[in-house]
Amino acid sequence: MLKIPTVALPSGRVMPIFGVGTWRMGESARHRADEVKAVRAAIDRGITLIDTAEMYGDGEAENIVAEAMGTGQNSRRDNLFVVSKVLPGNASRRGTIAACERSLKRLNTDRIDLYLLHWRGGPALGETIAAFAELKAAGKILDWGVSNFDIDDMRELASLDTANECATNQVLYNLTRRGIEFDLMPYCAKRGIPIMAYSPLEQARMLGDAVLKAVGQRHGATPAQVALAWLLRQKGIVSIPKATRLDHLHDNIAALDLKLSAEDLKTLDARFPSPKRATPLDML
């Protein structure tokens, strides 16, 4: 069974630094069985962090996660760390609570380990935080956080989150999207807020890069493993690659054992340089 390291959340709870994402799952009935199989296979291999959202497949991704977790005596829910998200259009105080109830029903669970605001929207941020506090007090969510928040958003959040309970900021981050390293990552690190990196493989677009291939060849590893290992070596970073094929899942898991050398990191920095100035937050 996998031994996946964890990162501490402000609440004192811990979250695995590696999991599986479900973005774009649930969009096609033709692929549903394979998607359930992929999430179940990840759980079978010992992955416990599963990231989903009410937006994904209009809620169908949450249904897929529920089916993969199992029910009754076969349920493995208690061993899992489930993340979901509320859409900004639903993020008023009453709307957030109602959205969470719907997600709980689709996920067939009584609690969500980490519940995020998917991105900034119309409702006041204070309303969403108040709803999160109410849901947490009721035990329906165990921690809350945000997604796609740039540094100004995080500063506004800090002025409202007087208990300093924000558990994470989930953002687009990979070798080709390093803009957050200039100011957002240091800001979050100073406050003990882990970064969840979504699309860590840039939806596979980076995997044909010659430099990634060359670094991989030094270790007998694939470009995907190199890209994931580059993220996983960093303190306070959580990676949630999606895998709908078993070979991709096994490839991703192998990245946990890949140790990049100082020479590797220098090579990657030359090919994918760190930012020299502040840039707007990237989103997909």
The one-digit pLDDT tens for each residue of the chain (284 residues) are 788 999 999 999 999 999 999 999 999 999 999 999 999 999 999 999 999 999 999 999 999 999 999 998 889 999 999 999 999 999 999 999 999 999 999 999 999 999 999 999 989 999 999 999 999 999 999 999 999 999 999 999 999 999 999 999 999 999 999 999 999 999 999 999 999 999 999 999 999 999 999 999 999 999 999 999 999 999 999 999 998 888 999 999 999 999 999 999 999 999 999 999 999 999 98
Tokens describing residue 172: 């687009």
Q: Are 85 and 114 in contact (CB under 8 A)?
A: no
Look at residue 120 in the predicted model and tell me its pLDDT: 94
The per-residue pLDDT for 122 is: 87
- The answer to whether the beta carbons of residues 119 and 150 sit under 8 Å apart is no
| pLDDT given for residue 284 in this prediction | 83
Catalytic residue among 56, 115, 173, 198: 56
Tell me which residue of 226, 250, 227 sits closest to 45, measured CA to CA. 250
Cα–Cα nearest to 142, from 203, 74, 84? 84
**pLDDT in the model for residue 2:** 87
pTM of the model: 0.97
Tell me if residue 56 is catalytic: yes
How many angstroms separate the Cα of 38 from the Cα of each of 2, 46, 70?
17, 13, 14
Query: According to the model, what pLDDT value does residue 235 have?
Result: 96
The DSSP code sequence of 97-110 is: HHHHHHHHHHHT-S
Q: Domains for the chain: give ranges and CATH numbers.
A: 13-208+237-245 (3.20.20.100)
Give the whole-angstrom CA distance, residue 55 versus residue 152.
24
CB-CB contact of 141 with 100 (8 Å)? yes
Q: What token pair was written down for 102?
A: 């719907």
SS3 183: coil
DSSP readout, 202-258? GGGGGGG-HHHHHHHHHHT--HHHHHHHHHHTSTTEEE----SSHHHHHHHHHGGG-
Q: Report residue 181 as tokens.
A: 């390293």
State how far the alpha carbon of 25 is from the alpha carbons of 32, 59, 97, in Å.
8, 10, 24
CA pair distance 39, 166, nearest whole angstrom = 27
pLDDT at 70: 96
- Sheet containing 114-117: give its strands across: 19-21, 49-51, 81-86, 114-117, 144-147, 169-172, 195-198, 237-239
Ramachandran area for residue 5 (φ above 0: left; ψ -120 to 50: alpha; else beta): beta
